Amino acid sequence: MLRRAVCSAAGGAGTEQEFFARLGRAGVLVRKRYSTTSPGQVTGYAVGLPYHASKAGGVIWYGGGKLAADLTLPKLRARWTAPAEDCLGPGLPPQMARAVLRARITEAAEQARGEAEFFAQLRRSGVLVRLRFSETNPGQVTGYAVTLTGHTGSDGALRWYGGGRLAADLTLPQLRHRWAWQRQARGRSGAFRFTGPERDLLYRHAGRQAAMAAEQIRRSAGNDPDAAADAAWAAAAAFDVTADALHDQALRDAADTYGRAARPACGQIPRRTADGDRLRALARLLALAGDLSGDSTVLAGALIASLVGLAVAVAELRQAQRHAAQAAAARKAAEHMHAAMAQARSSVPWPAQAVRPQRPRSARQADVAREDFPLGLRLDEAVLAAAAKTRDVTPGRGYQPPKRAGPRR
């Protein structure tokens, strides 16, 4: 449980501060380790659960390195060496960028106690801030605008958004009013949630990013397998965050299985690449979306199909690297997700159509059906076909290499 929580928090965070904040919101106790020579400098951490205690009554703590070799604080910091805004801004559609900015502003406003702390929090989260000053009283801030690095218009200039353009209650006067009345009673005013069109746009964007990463990994598997090591490692964050967002046990098990395929050998961190950063940005976007378990859109199924293709591409990569155990883990994760999708589809009647007769199922398929996959998720034939085309991953049969085309009769 702790390993899952740390992996999900690390995948959804862009900074060290956000990582510890996400752990706290998930109900995980955190104990930081400080340097003996440089007081105030954090050199490590340990995590625990409130109800997991020793006979003496004390919390049982686990350092990051005891959970997994790549979960120590120095190796987690390697994920966050690039500024968060460098990964999120480029390539985001305008509507998606506005949703990301609204999420960042809402989170910063709820954590801050005043505007100085608010603007500092925004900058730490990777948001560019431009202040508007009074014309009659120089030095007095009357408003602000925000954007993401790389989020530009057709003319190449940055796209700036005032707080009022993002939401009516995010103007600076409204925020000041909120801080004045909430100084005594702190707490979240409500979990942030994207609108329906924004979530659909998120699914499309995430599916494209996952498909692009899978294609790049597959291309590198034959030419330069080591070049795709960072992308294979970063894909674990996308699996972890997706499973948490959809609250699905089958996807959670697939993410755990894939973690064994993505983990670098001996805990060595691979060289950072643009493909890996793209997948880390995808994980952070999904983490910003929060709880997606209530969605019943086909686009959620398309995202899962793209993740199936990503797992299969990593299996090919590990096979090319002669890492048999990791290749088997990636194939198992892809097979598990594909089986869960097929069972979800077969358990939901087609709209405006009679219920199909029950077909005999193997014991393996019956076990997968009991994995609490969200039954509200409706998948059409195109989505299942897209999943089936990801290098022939068939439930119950494991990974099957592509067959060569022969002469037709």
DSSP bridge partners of 46: 31, 63
Find out whether 11 and 280 touch, Cβ atoms under 8 Å.
Answer: yes
Q: pLDDT tens digits, residue range 268-297?
A: 777 888 888 888 888 888 888 777 766 656
What does the block give as tokens for 220? Answer: 């590198």
Residue 83: what pLDDT? Answer: 52
Residue predicted with more confidence, 263 or 42: 42
Residue 48: band (very low, low, confident or very high) from pLDDT cuts 50, 70, 90: very high
- The CA–CA distances, whole Å, from 280 to 89, 235, 312, 322 equal 13, 7, 19, 26
Residue 187: what pLDDT? Answer: 45
- The CA–CA distances, whole Å, from 42 to 37, 67, 75, 121 equal 11, 19, 14, 19
Q: Which helix (H) or strand (E) holds 285?
A: helix 274-289
Domain segments of the chain: what residues?
2-81, 86-181, 196-399
Lowest mean pLDDT among 135-144, 165-174, 179-188, 244-253: 179-188
Assess whether pLDDT exceeds 50 at residue 309.
yes
Return mean pLDDT, the chain: 76
Lowest mean pLDDT among 16-30, 83-97, 314-328, 339-353: 339-353
What whole-number distance in Å separates Cα of residue 227 and Cα of residue 217?
A: 8
Find out whether 217 and 232 touch, Cβ atoms under 8 Å.
Answer: yes
Lowest mean pLDDT among 145-149, 230-234, 368-372: 368-372
Give the range with max mean pLDDT: 113-122, 338-347, 361-370, 376-385: 113-122
362 class by beta-carbon count within 10 Å (0-12 exposed, 13-18 middle, 19+ buried): exposed
Nearest Cα residue to 82 out of 182, 5, 148, 15: 15
Nearest Cα residue to 202 out of 294, 129, 300: 300
